Amino acid sequence: MYVLLGCSIVALAIILERFYNLIRAKNDTEKLINGIKPLLVQGKILDALRLAKQENGPVAAVLAAGIENYGRDLKEVERLLDLAAQQELNRMRKGMPALELIIQIAPLLGLLGTVTGEIRTFNVLSNLQGVSDPIAMSSGIAEALLTTAYGLLVAIPVAAVYAYFDSVIKKNVASMNWAITEILDTFSNLQQEEKDREASDIA
Amino acid sitting at position 26? K
**Each residue's pLDDT tens digit, 151-172:** 999 999 999 999 999 999 999 9
Domain boundaries, the chain: 2-194
Q: With pLDDT > 70 as the criterion, what percentage of the chain qualifies?
A: 85
How many angstroms separate the CA atoms of 92 and 27, rounded? 15
Identify the top-confidence range among 35-49, 105-119, 124-138. Answer: 35-49
Q: What's the confidence (pLDDT) of residue 44? A: 92
Q: Is residue 106 scored above 90 in pLDDT?
A: yes
Confidence tier at 49 by pLDDT (50, 70, 90): very high
Is 161:118 a contact under the CB 8 Å cutoff?
no
How many angstroms separate the CA atoms of 192 and 199, rounded? 10
Mean local confidence (pLDDT), 67-88:
94
Q: What's the confidence (pLDDT) of residue 28? A: 78
Confidence tier at 63 by pLDDT (50, 70, 90): very high
How many angstroms separate the CA atoms of 193 and 196, rounded? 5
Confidence tier at 83 by pLDDT (50, 70, 90): very high
Q: Is residue 117 scored above 80 in pLDDT?
A: no
Q: What's the confidence (pLDDT) of residue 127? A: 66
Q: What's the confidence (pLDDT) of residue 191? A: 84
Is 146:104 a contact under the CB 8 Å cutoff?
no
Single pTM value for the model: 0.81
Best CA proximity match to 37, nearest among 201, 192, 188:
188
Amino acid sitting at position 69? N
Q: What's the confidence (pLDDT) of residue 22? A: 83
Q: What's the confidence (pLDDT) of residue 156? A: 95
